[in-house]
Amino acid sequence: MTDTFTVLGAGLAGSLVSIYLARRGAKVRVYERRSDPRVTLIDGGRSINLALANRGIRALREVGLYKDIQALTIPMRGRMLHETGMPAVLQPYGKDESEVIYSISRGGLNALLLDRAEHHGVDIRFDHSIETVDLDTGVLDVRDAAGATHTVDAAPMIASDGAGSVIRHAMAKQKGADNREEMLTHAYKELTIPPGADGDFQIDANSLHIWPRGGFMMIALPNLDRSFTVTLFLAVDGEDSFATLDSPSAVTQFFERYFADAMPLFNDLTGEFFENPTGALGTVRCTPWHVGNKAVLIGDAAHAIVPFHGQGMNCAFEDCFELDRCLGETQGQDLEDTFRLFEQRRLPNANAIADMALENYIEMRASVRDPYFHLKKELAWELEKRFPTQFVPRYSMVMFHHVPYAEAQRRGVIQQQILDELLEGHQRDAGVGNVDFGRAKSLIDARLHGAIELQ
């Protein structure tokens, strides 16, 4: 194997992939634009959290990190739905209590990965920004904190420089390349629900809270300091949009109208609303992901997705796991073979999770309010119980297993058809007890050929 790599970006993917490479004995240098987040406040010191699920956990476990990371997590067993004027209701994520996802601090996780990377001898250069790249020669121009530009012979490069990747943009200029960046017409704003006067969580700690409002929504994930990070997802323009929330009174009126039950939980709603940035959301689909043996894209640099399936980081971590696997399988061959194999395996899966993440926005902000959605979920779990090797709900395939995303998407479409057919003409409030399970078996046998590889 090549014994020196340059990793671009020390975010979640960059820091984890460095650990994987260093464990293989490679010399790894990382360039990161930001200051070291372990010594400088990032994002104004706000707690920002993410949902960690099985794919991410497997990749962390593989490098012996999951034990340390567990101390940073809070299990979330389902969605707590806050409908206007109704008591909150928990919708479990999985078929039983083993199927949960975890809230984790982005900063805490990144710091731990950086510590571990350095422990493995990775050389991380903070305050070093990649300015330009020559993909033919593998030479980078890097600007340091003092503003001086250095020309660096950097190949082979692992480009984990996020959604706005300099390397992807350089690749996009090459003949035959395709780089599609589709912005969502909705954006997001992070807010905080602080601990209550008694120092404890103000709402249930082991849930991902959702206030679904049809065209938009607000969610909240718990933090270890007993606060919640709240995210409002809303249209950029139009009626009920970020554009109309242009004054403290407009914000207060909007929240009183749509999120009255959450209003008493905030401490400084309008202050935070105008202090915190409004973030854009989008999907990146590009090809190719590699240039010869010079560079390969991973994480958001290759496939930024919208956050509604909670899979961007999980998918980025799975990239690190898979790239390491490809390095093992192509040992002794040119690195171009490794990068090509990685791209072949990951690109269709990245496109599949991009689609499913977009679909999940509708599910979270609207479908969760529909009783038919719950009936279908109940039936899906019943079918999983009866036919566990053939029928696993799509959400579970994505969040609790390692079924390739593209396969989860393919099976998911067939499963939806089966559920709709079995529930056609079914009394909606009758539960799933009198569904024809003989017919269910025939449909499953005929359409979902063979057992699913849950891995």
Ligand X SMILES: Cc1cc2nc3c(=O)[nH]c(=O)nc-3n(C[C@H](O)[C@H](O)[C@H](O)COP(=O)(O)OP(=O)(O)OC[C@H]3O[C@@H](n4cnc5c(N)ncnc54)[C@H](O)[C@@H]3O)c2cc1C
| Residues of the shown chain interacting with ligand X in the complex, contacts defined by CB under 6 A | 8-14, 31-34, 50-51, 129-130, 160-162, 166, 188, 231, 279, 299-301, 307, 310-314, 316
Query: Which is nearest to 15 in space by CA: 120, 104, 110?
Result: 110
CB of 156 to ligand X, least distance (A): 17
Nearer to ligand X, 34 or 46 (CB): 34
**Which residue has its beta carbon closest to ligand X?**
11
CB of 23 to ligand X, least distance (A): 18
CB of 318 to ligand X, least distance (A): 10
CB of 450 to ligand X, least distance (A): 29
Residues making up the chain, counted from first to last: 455
CB of 181 to ligand X, least distance (A): 14
Which residues, 6 or more positions from 442, have their beta carbon under 8 angstroms from its beta carbon?
none
Nearer to ligand X, 59 or 130 (CB): 130
Nearer to ligand X, 306 or 419 (CB): 306
Distance from C-alpha of 37 to C-alpha of 43, rounded to nearest angstrom: 10
Q: What are phi and psi of 278, to 5 degrees?
A: -95, 125
Nearer to ligand X, 130 or 418 (CB): 130
Nearer to ligand X, 307 or 390 (CB): 307
CB of 241 to ligand X, least distance (A): 17
Query: Which is nearest to 350 in space by CA: 397, 391, 308, 289?
Result: 289
Query: Which is nearest to 90 in space by CA: 214, 203, 191?
Result: 203
Nearer to ligand X, 360 or 390 (CB): 360
Distance from C-alpha of 274 to C-alpha of 16, rounded to nearest angstrom: 34
Nearer to ligand X, 32 or 324 (CB): 32
Please report how the helices 312-329 and 12-23 are oriented relative to each other, as an axis angle in degrees rounded to 10: 20
Q: Each residue of 347-360: b (16+ CB within 10 Å) or e?
A: bebbbbbbbbbbbb
DSSP assignment of 9-72:
--SHHHHHHHHHHHHTT-EEEEE-SSPPTTTS-SGGG---EEEE-HHHHHHHHHTT-HHHHHTT
CB of 167 to ligand X, least distance (A): 9
